[in-house]
Homo-oligomer: A and B are copies of this chain.
Amino acid sequence: MQIATPYLMFLGDVPDRLAAKTAYGINDWRHEWCVGQFRMEGCAADLDIPDLTLEQAVAQGCKTMVVGVVNAGGVLPEHWVEKIVAALDAGLDVASGLHVRLGSVPAIAEAAQRNGRALHDVRHTTETFPTGKGTKRPGRRLLTVGTDCSVGKKYTALALERGMRERGFDADFRATGQTGVFISGRGVAIDAVVADFISGAVEWVSPANEPNHWDLIEGQGSLFHPSFAGVSLGLLHGAQADAFVVCHEPTRTRMRGVEASLPTIQEVIDLTIRCGSLTNPGIRPVGIAINTQALAEPQARVLLAETEAAHRLPATDPVRFGVEGLVDRIAAEFPA
């Protein structure tokens, strides 16, 4: 899936910020692609970017209207459908993170065809991937892995992209989840791929590249999560990661959505090396990213210092304290 940029951000008439979480994430990380927002009467979300009509958006170069919002019932309300049709008629592609497929709404399917515009359903994939080959491809790759789901794997990869580019690295974030796909304009929601093609889809997401180029691949789930470990393993094998960062949330008492207890950071390091060496025998950890949001700053600093000492790896909260230490380690371990 390759989504044309820049974007007009459709916010509909959502009742709160949370319903526009994806749109906020895109604007946080790709502000330069968010030319304007399109809001309807009663909309309680605001990205603090210009409100544009469809015609203004087209005139300012927008290529795609992004529906980065959800509504309570999970359905596509009728009064949103007419705006999406109008966007297609105005010459924009439309990309959506909704569960419902845009093309399943007859009026939208007809308008896309009539105008020769593309519809992207980021939660789904129509792409047919080959199965993974496991053959080492050129370029360097870092994967963010986790002790659990929702521990900061996407944010860590994005923060590394920003931090590494600032330090002169040639580095690209590679998306494997829906918000990530909007942020990179390309990628695939890996958990929606048919099981046989997980590693093949990752090989497609992160293709061969220049020897010193870094792909920063967004991880999913955890090798220790009883629901999703298969996705995590296929992702690890397809990524052929040279390096990985372990992401962790220190206040969690059990794994998200199930009764299983959390693995230790060391267990994640060990099993990631054990399994990852199948497609890249040189795989090694380069740091630990801890989401310290729930801790006061002194406590957070103590925890990070203890973690560094215990694992002899740089540990940071990428959002709170930056990724300097991680980039130092990458530079030292992988000289150009």
Binding site for B on A (CB under 8 A): 131-135, 190-196, 198-200, 223-224, 226-235, 237, 257-260, 271, 274-275, 278-279
Chain B residue contacts of A231, Cβ below 8 A: 195-196, 198, 230, 234
Chain B nearest CB: distance from A34 CB in Å? 29
Q: Is the CB of B226 within 8 A of A278?
A: yes
Given known A135-B259, A194-B193, A195-B192, contact A229–B233 (CB-CB < 8 A): yes
B233 touches A237 (CB 8 A): no
- What are 5 A-to-B residue pairs whose CB atoms are below 8 Å? A131-B227, A133-B227, A193-B194, A193-B195, A198-B231
The answer to whether B226 and A134 have CB atoms under 8 Å apart is yes
Query: A133 contacts which chain B residues (CB < 8 A)?
Result: 226-227, 258-259
CB distance from A239 to the nearest CB of B (A): 11
Point out the residues of chain B lying under 8 angstroms from A260, CB to CB.
Answer: 134, 278-279
Q: In the assembled complex, how far is the CB of residue A5 from the closest CB belonging to chain B, in whole angstroms?
A: 27
Set B196, B227, B271: member contacting A191, Cβ < 8 A = B196
Q: How far is the CA of A103 from the CA of B17 in the complex (A)?
A: 43
On whether the beta carbons of B226 and A230 are closer than 8 Å, the reply is: no
From B134, B194, B223, B235, contact of A227 by CB (8 A): B134
Docked Cα-Cα span, A230 to B132, in Å, equals 11
Tell me, rounded to whole Å, the shortest Cβ–Cβ distance linking A122 to chain B: 15
**A134 in contact with B198 (CB, 8 Å):** no
Cβ–Cβ contact A278 & B224, under 8 A: yes
Most buried by B among A132, A230, A260: A230
Given contacts A134-B260, A229-B237, A271-B274, 9 further A-B contacts (CB under 8 A): A192-B195, A194-B195, A195-B198, A196-B231, A198-B230, A200-B227, A226-B237, A230-B234, A230-B237
Question: CA A231 – CA B231 in complex, angstroms?
Answer: 8
Return A131 CB to nearest CB of chain B, in Å: 4
Selected contact of A226 from candidates B224, B257, B279, CB within 8 Å: B279
Q: How far is the CA of A200 from the CA of B231 in the complex (A)?
A: 13
Identity of the chain B residue whose Cβ is nearest the Cβ of A259 in the assembled complex: B135
Q: How long is the Cα–Cα vector from A133 to B229 in the complex, in angstroms?
A: 12
Contact A196 B274 (CB under 8 A): no
